Structure formats: structure tokens, C-alpha cells
């Protein structure tokens, strides 16, 4: 006679699929064994969020190169052509010049366009680092969830196997009228609770595994096997605080803002510098000193524009506006010295210095906040570990209590102090307490893992 396959047996076959993959029985899908370091590397390489942040950095750097293009040699060619005919006279006129210029000196404020481009790169790089850290944290949290879920499935599966054996024996004893029918129902209820938990865990494992595959950029049909749990971090409270301060992207961003603000405060003094323009020319070579419009920035530029192709025009022509050749030399300059600007420069500096001092206070405040937050999370890890250890003891106590009650109810001759006058209601209550204790214990294990990762996030530590 064929033996009927029980629901638990069917479940155990599903739960053991991973081990079947390792033995080579499943060939339809590719099997990948992941280590924590490799999973994080794949997530950083393939995740779309990180890639988008990287492209933002590339775009910002390209924009910065555009802003710096003026500091490189500029070469061009200009030409003009004109033709007119009056009777039998065909008059043609053309001129072609090469244009070569080079910005060889610049002083005063950093140009606003260049300053904005540099800030865009700095901010984009910080956001890129932030995106990478968030992906690492997400990968590590998923790793913890999957490992703990697999461990819980294994532990609950072992309990369910024992319960199924116990249920088979209970059915036989109940058939022989040796125990009441309620004893069988209690065992079935306990087994059903374990099967429900196992089914929920298996579904959660499927979701978490799919999310891990998505984060790492693996093929959706890939079957993933995690090699081992993540190791515990061996770090003292003092070291955790220092790591948090060193790794903080917010502090890094604020430090960059303060350096820029120090420069802006210093650049206000250029408002007292005379407005100055100058030009020196010898034949086709010129040197210009000009102030950029709207900025306290001066550019010194060398220009060479020789004539390549020329046809002279009639000197008396109405069309001639500039000499065709530039001989000799020319020198000229213009300046304007501000004697009193209504305290504009003084007030500008006061404004920038006040903003710098505000940033410095914000830096101190944020540093203090990080120290407190790290301490809080560090202590929470210790709290979570102690709660987990207590709940583990509670599970053993309630399990022992349940088994003792069952033994007393099954064997009337057994007398245990404190367990007289028990009914099956006591067994049902003990069963409910044991099930709840199991649930709380497994949750505290997850809380402990989350507390450790929360501390890592506060430290912004991804190694």
C-alpha cells in the first residue's frame, strides 16, 4: 500500500530545495553561491540607484570641464568677403585672420560659473557615496533577514517533524482509547501553528531572496545560496564614535561648505580693488586685462590675430572701418578707485562671516548629535542582545512546561509537585504560551540583527 504524503512532508521537500540545488538535482536555473563581500560588490556594480548617482557625478564633472575650457588655448579663423561691380569695374574685397588667445593669469574672485560647477561636483560625489552606503546597508539587512529566516525554518522544521511523529503516536493511542481525543487535537493544533509559521517564513524567504537578487543585479531566474552569516563587529564605543565622525557624509558636506564660505568671506575684500582695464599691443600681438561683468574677477589674456589672406581696399572707400594691418605699438588703461562705497564691502564681509560662524556652530552641533546617536545605538545593541538571550530562556521554560503538562495528562500515575489537578485547558494555554514565546524569540533575534545594522548606519561604516 502506498503511503500518503503528508502536508508537512511536502513542505519539507520545498524547504530543502536549496540543498537539492547543491547536489545538482536542479539544472533549469543557474545556482550562485554568494559570500557577503561578493554580494556587496555586485550590488555596488549593478544596482541602478548607484549607477544613476555615478552618472550624475560624470555629468557634473563634464560641466566643470566646460567651465574650465576658457583656461585652455582658443584658436579660430575669421574671414570676410565683399564684391561689387560698377560698370566695367569689378571690385572684390576679402580678409582672413587667424585668432589665437590664451588666458594666462586670473586674479580676484573665483568666477561664479566655475564656483557653481565645482560645488556641483562636490555635492554629486557626496550623494554618490551616500547612494553606495545605502545599497550596502540594504544588502546587509537582507542578508541578515535571509540567514535568520533559513535558521528559523530549520529549527521550526525540526520541531514540526517531531510533532508529526508525536501526532502519529497520539492517533494510535486515541484509537486504543488510552488518551482523550482532546490530546490529539492539542497536538494537531501545535503542529498547525508550526506549519503556518513555516509557510509564512518560506514566503518571506522568497520575497527577500528576490529583493537580494534585484539589488545585486543577478538574473531573476538565478537561485542564490548564502554562504554564511555576517560576522559580528568587534568595535568599542570610543572607536564607534570616532568612526561615525570620520565617515559622516553630513559632516564632510558641511566641511566643504565651510571651506567655501571662508573663501567667500575673504573674497569680499576684492570689492575695494580698483576697477581696472588695460591693453597693450605690438603689431598683431595684444595683451588684455579685463574685469568680468558682474564679478570681482580680472582676466589677463594674450591674443594673436595675424592676417592670413588680404586684399587691400581703397583707402577712401566708404566701406573701410578698420586698418587692414596693425603696425607699431599701442598702450592704454583705465581705472576707477572707489574711495567710499557706503560700507558695502564691510557689510558684505559681515554677512559672509556671520554665515561662516553659523556653519561652524552647526558643525559642532552635528558632531555632538552624532556622538549621542552612536552611544544610543551602541547601547541598544546590548539591550537587544540581552532581550534575545532572555527570550531564548523563556522558550525553553515554556517548552519544558508544556511537555511536563502533556506527560502528566498522558500518564495518570505520574505525580510531579506543582502539576496536580491539571486539565486540557492548561495544556492548551501552555501550548499558546509556547507558540507566542517562540514568535517573540525569533523576533528578538531579528531585532538584534537590525540593531547591529542600525549602529553601522549611524557609524556610516561599510567595510
Vertex 154 angle, CA 152 and 158, to 5° = 115
Query: Looking at 107-116, 166-175, 261-270, which range is the least confident one?
Result: 166-175
List residues bridging with 332 in a β-sheet: 279
| Alpha carbon distance 249, 134 (integer Å) | 12
Residue 152 confidence (pLDDT) above 60: yes
Mean pLDDT over 150-167 rounds to 86
Q: What are phi and psi of 213, to 5 degrees?
A: -60, -40
Mean pLDDT of the chain: 85
59 belongs to a structural domain: no
Confidence band, pLDDT 50/70/90 cuts, at residue 3? very low
169 belongs to a structural domain: no
Residue whose grid cell is 554568494? 34
Confidence band, pLDDT 50/70/90 cuts, at residue 134? very high
Confidence band, pLDDT 50/70/90 cuts, at residue 463? confident
Mean pLDDT over 205-223 rounds to 91
- pLDDT tens-digit series, residues 271-296: 888 888 999 999 889 999 999 888 89
Query: Looking at 175-179, 255-259, 271-275, 448-452, which range is the least confident one?
Result: 175-179
Mean pLDDT over 102-106 rounds to 92
CB 261 within 8 A of CB 355: yes
Q: Which carries the bigger pLDDT value, residue 94 or residue 261?
A: 261
The domain tally of the chain equals 1
- Strand pairing category for 74-86 and 89-108: antiparallel
Q: What is the pLDDT of residue 174?
A: 66
Residue 12 confidence (pLDDT) above 60: no
Confidence band, pLDDT 50/70/90 cuts, at residue 393? very high
Q: What is the pLDDT of residue 221?
A: 85
Mean pLDDT over 22-35 rounds to 62
| Alpha carbon distance 279, 71 (integer Å) | 19
131 belongs to a structural domain: no
Q: What is the pLDDT of residue 311?
A: 72
Mean pLDDT over 109-117 rounds to 93
427 belongs to a structural domain: yes
Please state, as a whole number, how many other Cβ atoms lie within 10 Å of the Cβ of residue 291.
16
- pLDDT tens-digit series, residues 290-336: 998 888 999 999 999 888 887 765 555 545 555 566 778 999 989 88
Q: What is the pLDDT of residue 20?
A: 41
Confidence band, pLDDT 50/70/90 cuts, at residue 180? low
116 belongs to a structural domain: no
Q: Which carries the bigger pLDDT value, residue 11 or residue 208?
A: 208
Mean pLDDT over 395-407 rounds to 86
CB 213 within 8 A of CB 220: yes
Mean pLDDT over 159-166 rounds to 83
CB 236 within 8 A of CB 331: no
- pLDDT tens-digit series, residues 42-70: 999 999 999 999 999 999 999 999 999 99
Q: 3-class secondary structure for the chain?
A: CCCCCCHHHHHHHHHCHHHHHHCCCCCCCCEEEECHHHHHHHHHHHCHHHHHHHHHHHHHHHHHHHHHHHHCCEEEEEEEEEEEEECCEEEEEEEEEEEEEEEEEEEECCCHHHHHHHHHHHHHHHHHHHHHHHHHHHHHHHHHHHHHHHHHHHHHHHHHHHHHHHHHHHHHHHHCCCCCHHHHHHHHHHHHHHHHHHHHHHHHHHHHHHHHHHHHCCCCCCEEEECCCCCCCCCCHHHHHHHHHHHCHHHHHHHHHHHHHHHHHHHHHHHHCCEEEEEEEECCEEEEEEECCCCCEEEEEEEECCEEEECCCCCCCCCCCCCCCCCCEEEEEEEECCCCCCCHHHHHHHHHHHHHHHHHHHHHHHHHHHHHHHHHHHHHHHHHHHHHHHHHHHHHHHHHHHHHHHHHHHCCCCCCCCCCCCCHHHHHHHHHHHHHHHHHHHHHHHHHHHHHHHHHHHHCCCC
166 belongs to a structural domain: no
Residue 29 confidence (pLDDT) above 70: no
Q: What is the pLDDT of residue 10?
A: 43
The C-alpha cell that represents 7 in the structure block: 502536508
The C-alpha cell that represents 154 in the structure block: 530549520
Q: What is the pLDDT of residue 406?
A: 76
265 belongs to a structural domain: yes
The C-alpha cell that represents 399 in the structure block: 517548552
Residue whose grid cell is 520545498? 14
Residue 258 confidence (pLDDT) above 90: yes
Q: How far is CA 389 from CA 165, 355, 385, 386, 393, in A?
A: 29, 51, 6, 5, 6
| Alpha carbon distance 366, 259 (integer Å) | 17
156 belongs to a structural domain: no
Give the structural domain span for 413: 233-273+342-463
Q: By C-alpha distance, which of 239, 35, 222 is closest to 147?
A: 35
Q: What is the pLDDT of residue 19?
A: 47
Confidence band, pLDDT 50/70/90 cuts, at residue 14? very low
| Alpha carbon distance 192, 198 (integer Å) | 10
CATH number of the domain encompassing residue 420: 1.20.1600.10
The C-alpha cell that represents 147 in the structure block: 540567514
Amino acid at each position: 500500500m502506498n503511503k500518503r504524503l503528508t502536508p508537512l512532508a511536502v513542505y519539507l521537500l520545498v524547504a530543502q530545495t536549496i540543498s537539492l540545488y547543491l547536489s545538482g538535482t536542479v539544472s533549469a536555473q543557474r545556482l550562485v553561491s554568494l559570500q557577503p563581500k561578493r554580494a556587496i560588490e555586485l550590488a555596488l556594480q549593478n544596482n541602478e540607484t548607484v549607477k544613476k548617482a555615478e552618472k550624475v557625478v560624470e555629468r557634473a564633472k563634464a560641466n566643470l570641464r566646460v567651465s574650465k575650457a576658457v583656461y585652455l588655448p582658443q584658436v579660430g579663423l575669421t574671414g570676410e568677403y565683399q564684391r561689387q561691380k560698377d560698370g566695367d569695374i569689378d571690385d572684390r574685397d576679402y580678409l582672413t585672420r587667424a585668432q589665437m588667445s590664451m588666458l594666462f593669469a586670473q586674479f580676484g574672485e573665483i568666477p561664479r560659473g566655475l564656483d557653481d560647477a565645482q560645488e556641483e561636483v562636490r555635492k554629486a560625489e557626496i550623494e554618490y557615496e551616500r547612494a553606495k552606503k545605502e545599497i550596502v546597508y540594504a544588502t546587509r539587512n537582507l542578508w541578515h533577514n535571509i540567514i535568520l529566516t533559513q535558521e528559523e525554518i530549520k529549527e521550526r522544521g525540526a520541531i514540526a517533524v517531531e510533532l508529526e511523529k508525536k501526532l502519529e503516536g497520539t492517533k494510535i493511542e486515541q484509537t486504543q482509547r488510552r488518551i482523550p481525543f482532546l490530546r490529539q487535537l492539542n497536538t494537531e493544533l501545535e503542529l498547525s501553528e508550526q506549519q503556518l509559521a513555516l509557510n509564512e517564513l518560506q514566503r518571506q524567504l522568497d520575497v527577500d531572496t528576490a529583493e537580494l537578487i534585484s539589488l545585486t543585479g543577478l538574473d531573476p531566474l538565478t537561485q542564490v545560496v548564502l554562504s554564511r552569516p555576517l560576522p559580528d563587529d568587534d568595535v568599542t564605543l570610543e572607536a564607534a564614535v570616532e568612526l561615525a565622525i570620520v565617515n559622516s557624509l553630513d559632516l564632510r558636506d558641511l566641511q566643504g561648505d565651510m571651506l567655501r564660505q571662508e573663501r567667500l568671506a575673504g573674497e569680499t575684500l576684492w570689492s575695494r580693488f580698483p576697477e581696472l582695464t588695460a591693453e597693450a599691443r605690438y603689431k598683431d600681438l595684444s595683451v588684455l586685462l579685463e574685469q568680468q561683468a558682474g564679478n570681482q574677477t580680472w582676466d589677463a589674456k594674450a591674443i594673436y590675430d595675424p592676417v592670413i589672406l588680404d586684399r587691400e581696399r581703397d583707402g577712401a572707400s566708404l566701406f573701410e572701418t578698420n586698418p587692414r594691418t596693425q603696425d607699431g605699438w599701442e598702450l592704454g588703461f583705465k581705472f576707477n578707485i572707489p574711495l567710499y562705497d557706503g560700507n558695502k564691502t564691510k557689510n558684505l564681509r559681515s554677512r559672509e562671516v556671520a554665515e561662516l560662524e553659523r556653519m561652524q556652530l552647526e558643525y559642532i552641533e552635528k558632531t555632538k548629535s552624532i556622538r549621542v546617536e552612536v552611544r544610543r545605538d551602541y547601547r541598544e545593541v546590548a539591550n537587544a542582545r540581552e532581550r534575545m538571550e532572555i527570550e531564548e530562556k523563556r522558550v525553553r521554560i515554556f517548552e519544558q512546561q508544556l511537555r511536563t503538562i502533556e506527560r502528566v495528562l498522558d500518564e495518570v500515575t505520574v505525580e510531579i509537585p506543582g502539576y496536580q489537578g491539571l486539565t486540557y485547558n492548561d495544556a492548551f494555554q501552555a501550548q499558546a504560551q509556547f507558540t507566542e514565546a517562540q514568535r517573540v524569540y525569533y523576533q528578538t533575534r531579528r531585532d538584534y540583527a537590525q540593531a547591529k545594522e542600525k549602529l553601522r548606519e549611524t557609524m556610516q561604516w561599510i567595510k
